[in-house]
Amino acid sequence: MSRATTYTAGVALAAAGVAFLVHSTETAAQAQQDLVARARAIHERVITLDTHNDIDPSNFTPTCNYTMRLTTQVNLPKMKEGGQDVSFMIVYVGQSNPPQVADAFQPSGYDRAYKAAIAKFDAVHRLTEQIAPKDIELALSPADVVRIAKSGKKVAVIGIENGYPMGTDVTRVKEFFDRGGRYMSLAHNGHNQLADSHTGEATNEWRWGGLSPLGRQALEALNRVGIMVDVSHPSKGAVMQAIGLSKAPVIASHSAVRKLANVSRNMDDDMLMAMKTNGGVVQIVGLSGFVKSDPIEREPALNALRQQFGLNPPAGAGRAGGARGGAATAPATPPCPIERATPAPVSAAGGGRSAAQASALARLTPERRAEHDKRLAEIDTRWPAAGRATVSDLADHIDYAVKLMGIDHVGISSDFDGGGGVDGWNSAADTFNVTLELVRRGYTEEQIGKIWSGNLLRVWGEVERVARQLSR
């Protein structure tokens, strides 16, 4: 073969290779466009329901409210942008334990918590009845959810996080129902008058060994009036007792899979299977620290390192996660948090040092600082920090739960405005990205409809049916 012929053949082969690469790239781009289009169509047809969005009553006033694009992760503009149809707006009241608050679990403490809860009930009614009745409506039943969503409005539902505001008066369960509450968790972060909390794992100290006698009465009342029992936050003992005692299916409004992220707020396989047997649903939560956790050995190693070098642990250290304010007190009204520019990205969980730690490090001698940094590097190598979770990581939890429990027992929640968010789903405006990931993984439209809302609505309907039976 002549040199010219060889050259010509080489050029032809190179051109063919370039053409193949261009064709492959174009094919991949077209496949991605088709995937997005298919996911978008599914997202628009199914009802997208998030079972846990925290609220602040100061954002429910005539001059500062969810009709505006606030810095909150959830508001009407962001729900519309991301295609989130339903928001369970949460009546959450934290509790403080003695000795921090002298009247915790006393009549005055319960009364203060009750008033704080009522302020949040009233806030949701104000939004749906006075501020934006043409844009969002309060649903009191699964049928309401479907009707309102079909009308084109957004849907609000009220969930109650922490039974502490009930005090010792079980009749308040009916009052909370009449005010629109449609699920209630018995405990939050810390044991209360109704149940032990998951936080007891840290010290293996328990108040009740599960549910208290009053907690059992409250559970009966929840079944009787038709409020879903929420088992996110209580201890495993309390969760298993609640599942066993409830006459209706229960929900976990915002939990994830412990096998994939070993934090006490997540549900282990025993709990997940008990939820399946009960007929309930676990709403997999998009809170980074619950979706992707550091190796369990990392925190003790870091604490030992800090102690050795005289460094204080960072404020809020611990594996409970998602903790919010303690005392049931009303803070001063803040300025309206209108979003005026692109918000700063959310930092990775557990990142950074406190100012006190930085100052303490600066006081170390060069030799001690070098030794500290060497040991920290060893910890980072042996037990690397997890970093911030992504939508793909969240979908891993959904996959695991579906494989273990079946498609009929898995849902989705965010815990937005209460610590929630993962990369790709940092606000209601990003909601489509969750559907896109599920479509990418091969879930059908029917399955996605169940995960986004169908399973939760089924459980809610069953809770209503049981309540009707018990009232006969």
Average pLDDT over residues 267-272: 99
Residue 347 banded pLDDT, cuts 50, 70, 90: very low
**CB count in 10 Å sphere of residue 367:** 8
Asked whether residue 265 falls in the same domain as residue 377, the answer is no
CB 451 within 8 A of CB 411: yes
Asked whether residue 345 is domain-assigned, the answer is no
450 burial (CB, 10 Å; 0-12 / 13-18 / 19+) is buried
- Asked whether residue 378 falls in the same domain as residue 256, the answer is no
Establish how many alpha carbons lie within 13 A of residue 154's alpha carbon, considering only the half-sphere containing its beta carbon. 29
Weakest mean pLDDT among 233-237, 328-332, 377-381: 328-332
Half-sphere exposure of 73 (CA within 13 A, CB side): 28
Residue 13 is predicted with a pLDDT of 60
Residue 1: pLDDT band (50, 70, 90) is low
In a domain, 323, yes or no: no
Q: Give the helix ranges, DSSP H, for 179-250.
A: 213-225, 236-245
Q: Pick from 232, 291, 231: which is nearest to 263 by CA?
A: 291
Among 362, 385, 408, the domain boundary falls at: 385
Domain boundary among 370, 385, 400: 385
**Any domain includes 48:** yes
In this structure, the answer to whether residues 377 and 428 fall within a common structural domain is: no
Taking a C-beta distance cutoff of 8 angstroms, is the pair 290, 255 a contact?
A: yes
277 and 139 part of one domain: yes
Residues 123 and 176 both lie in one domain: yes
Give residue 70's pLDDT. 98
Domain count, the chain: 2
Question: Do the domain assignments include residue 408?
Answer: yes
State the pLDDT confidence band at 142, using cuts at 50, 70 and 90: very high
Say yes or no: 287 and 199 in one domain: yes
State which residues form the domain around 397. Answer: 27-293+387-470
In a domain, 330, yes or no: no
User: Could you give the count of Cα atoms lying within 13 Å of 336 in the half-sphere of its Cβ?
Assistant: 14
pLDDT at position 389 is 98
Burial (CB count <10 Å: 0-12, 13-18, 19+), residue 81: middle
For residue 134, give the CATH number of its domain: 3.20.20.140
Longest dimension (CA), the chain: 101
| E-strand stretches of 205-340 | 228-230, 251-255, 281-285
For residues 86 and 179, membership in a common domain is answered with yes
Task: Report the pLDDT value the prediction gives residue 401, as an integer from 0 to 100.
Answer: 99
- In a shared domain, residues 158 and 302: no
Give the pLDDT confidence of 26-64 residue by residue, as tens digits.
Answer: 788 899 999 999 999 999 999 999 999 999 999 999 999
Digit-coded pLDDT (tens) for 110-140: 999 999 999 999 999 999 999 999 999 999 9
End-to-end CA distance of the chain: 97
Q: Are residues 168 and 192 in the same domain?
A: yes
Three-class SS state of 190 = strand
- Tens of pLDDT, residue by residue over 278-316, are 999 999 999 999 999 988 888 888 888 888 888 765 433
Tell me what pLDDT residue 78 has.
99
pLDDT (0 to 100) of residue 17: 59
In-domain check, residue 381: yes
Shared-domain flag, residues 74 and 198: yes
In 3-state terms, what secondary structure has residue 161? strand
The two three-digit tokens of residue 27, written as one number: 């094919």
> Same domain for 184 and 274?
yes
Domain assignment present for 275: yes
Q: What is the pLDDT of residue 459?
A: 99
Residues 377-405, mean pLDDT to the nearest whole number: 95
| Residue 326 domain-assigned (yes or no) | no
Q: Are residue 268 and residue 302 in the same domain, yes or no?
A: no
Q: 3-state DSSP helix/strand/coil percent for the chain, to nearest 5?
A: 50, 15, 35
Predicted pLDDT of residue 348? 39
Per cent of the chain over pLDDT 70 is 85
CB atoms within 10 A of CB 56: 18
